[in-house]
Amino acid sequence: MRSIVLDRSNLFFKILERDRGQWWDHWLFYTRTFGEIFDAYRHHFKLALDKEKEFVETFTRPELDRLKQLWEEKSDSIKSKTLELLTSGAELRLPKSNFVVFFMGGLGLELVSELHIKNEHVFFVDLVAFQRREGIEQIPQVVFNKLKK
């Protein structure tokens, strides 16, 4: 059985291994690696490449360092709690076979974005948005609320 909760944040955090002047190049590599997801993400937000670059330029090293540290400390419990809520027997608006939840670094635009890729619903959990607005501890409940009937 496939997992409905997947963490794809590692490549995002590799941005911190580069000089800030190379962050845009890393972002382009990261988004190409997950091309289908980011094509849908760009479509969802109607993002032009120049606007996307502006958002990437708002990232700061202290912000991303802190997020990476928090994610390393708390991701296991957050992923477990999210999976527990989604498999608890509660009524969801989509069958489990029709969606997947991805934990990723995004541009901080929306906590959870529902993207349509082929015949599947992808719920893009933006770690940057959570850190800036709600705190990453809120992820399980926000994801569950997005999916419940």
pLDDT band for position 1 (cuts 50, 70, 90): very low
pLDDT tens-digit series, residues 62-120: 999 999 999 999 999 999 999 999 998 778 888 888 899 999 999 999 999 999 999 89
Any bridge partners for residue 122, and if so which?
A: 100, 115
Amino acid 90: pLDDT: 74
For the cut 90, the answer to whether the pLDDT of residue 60 exceeds it is: yes
Amino acid 2: pLDDT: 65
Residues in the chain: 149
User: Contact, 95 vs 75, CB < 8 A?
Assistant: no
Find the domain containing 120 and state its range. Answer: 5-147
Q: What is the mean pLDDT of residues 124-130?
A: 98
Number of domains in the chain: 1
